[in-house]
Structure 1
Amino acid sequence: MFGRSNRKNDPPRDGAAPSPASDPIPGAQLAGRIILERLLGVMRDERGVHVESLATALGALAGRACQIAALEGLHSGEAEYRGLSLLTVGGANGDEYFVGDAINRPLAESNYSVWSLVAGAAQHYGAQVPDLNELFHHSASTLGGAEFGLPRFAPGTNAGGTPRSYLTMWEPLQAPVRQAAPRPEQWPVAYGLAVQNLFAMAKDQFDLGVLTRVVMDSAIATSKLKLPQPTPAHAGLPTGPEG
């Protein structure tokens, strides 16, 4: 597992390191492998797997995981979430959004945040990662508008869907994810580790700095988008290899 990214890109607040009893890594590594392998199977066509689409999907699902982990952490009174804020705001487009540092904790502020895992892996392979503050500013500046939640791809590339459209994959993936990593706090870690595994596969053919931006643009957007909370997990994805 690749560690924390360059601190100059970190948000103003640093999350507290998890205690050994709440270490989210056990189980999340297996869940991360399962997530990537299932999505590789679902998203493969006769030409292979479209990496930009896969990165968008993983980012979108990571953001959803951050939202659910934060809501659960606040509801259960976990120490890591005490004093953190979470507010709901309305957008001009009629959607509602969560804002506040509670969701930012699993997304970008804790030691095992999605940002830390994704940007850390990209840097490990020599990529120059985007500025985290700019990523958050871009999301905030487009909130409620037509550009909100649209990842910024390399010129000439795109994805087969939007981050919001890929959220339909959440429920079908929940059964195997819950089996490997039963606690919501593990789910953002699992998706971050799935991205690390993707980067290990794509490092020689793709600009991982650009893919980091795609993942984080997607994750920040879906972490904020207020949607109904999920029902109990159920199986639904085609059976794929598990590691």
Structure 2
Amino acid sequence: MAGVKAASKEISRTLMKLLKSRQGVPVETLFGVLGSLAGFSCQMGIRDEYSRRANALPPLHVVRTLDGRVFYFGDALNEMLAESQYSVWSLSASHARKLGGTPPDLSAIFAHVSRTCGGTDFGVPRFPEGRPVKDLPVDYVRTFWSLIQPAVQKHCNGPSEWHIAYGLAIQAAMDVSKAVIDPGAALEIVMECAVPMSKLDPREVGL
């Protein structure tokens, strides 16, 4: 796990530097970016892993909507995002609880994302009241993925660890921001961004 921990520290360091302004680092934006990249890393990790295997297609179910957009679902994706011991959700939610926060209803977030696929509301997070985030998750992926991911790949021992590095970075962000944002609210921002971005067509962000 040494490589994963090094990657998570690099994620935190780089994002803090990129997001810092005269007013400091906006915590809502920080968790929005972390959640967006964490969710997207689940799908991209699966793609990278299977690209190394001869004649192997990634275990992703393709959903095509009437407007021509493509979205990706599947058990392997859900495992990394929300179901395994080291999923984005497990790492983030357990830490939020440890800090006294109440996790949001994850099933409701998944249902909302599935219901809005192909519509104008897809990828538009429903943030906690009083906690607006400036940009959409897809914009965060488009802007920050290429800036953050090279360091993640450098330190992690394979793509199956990428989402873990982001999960640990989310934990670290909760630690440093717990005095200004409730960990449960931070977690809600994370998952409202992570779930839709895990299903995003990479071509929509130029990948």
Structure 2-normalised TM-score? 0.90
SS in structure 2 of the partner of residue 48 of structure 1: coil
Q: Which residue of 2 aligns with 1:203?
A: 178
Cα distance between partner residues in 2 of 1:93 and 1:205: 41
Please report the RMSD computed on the Cα atoms of aligned residues, expressed in angstroms. Answer: 2.1
Instruction: Map 1:1-243; keep pairs closer than 5 Å.
Output: 25-75=1-51, 85-167=59-141, 168-228=143-203
Quick check: 2:80–2:88 contact (8 Å CA) kept in 1?
yes
1:75 CA displacement: 4.8
Pick the structure with more helix per residue: 2
Deviates more, 1:184-193 or 1:85-94: 85-94
Quick check: 2:128–2:188 contact (8 Å CA) kept in 1?
no
Unaligned runs of 5+ in 1: 1-24, 78-83, 232-243
SS in structure 2 of the partner of residue 97 of structure 1: strand
What amino acid sits opposite 2:19 in the alignment? M
SS in structure 1 of the partner of residue 71 of structure 2: strand
Structure 1-normalised TM-score? 0.77
Q: 1:51 to 1:92 in 2, by over 3 A?
A: farther
Cα distance between partner residues in 1 of 2:153 and 2:76: 22
1:73 CA displacement: 4.0
SS in structure 1 of the partner of residue 7 of structure 2: helix
Q: Which residue of 2 aligns with 1:5?
A: none
Quick check: 1:70–1:106 contact (8 Å CA) kept in 2?
no
Report the number of matched residues. Answer: 202
Calculate percent identity across the aligned residue pairs: 36
Cα distance between partner residues in 2 of 1:211 and 1:162: 16
SS in structure 2 of the partner of residue 45 of structure 1: coil
Cα distance between partner residues in 2 of 1:166 and 1:94: 23
Cα distance between partner residues in 1 of 2:182 and 2:124: 19
Cα distance between partner residues in 1 of 2:127 and 2:67: 24
Unaligned runs of 5+ in 2: none
Deviates more, 1:46-55 or 1:89-98: 89-98
What amino acid sits opposite 1:33 in the alignment? K
SS in structure 2 of the partner of residue 30 of structure 1: helix
1:174 CA displacement: 2.3
1:230 CA displacement: 8.0
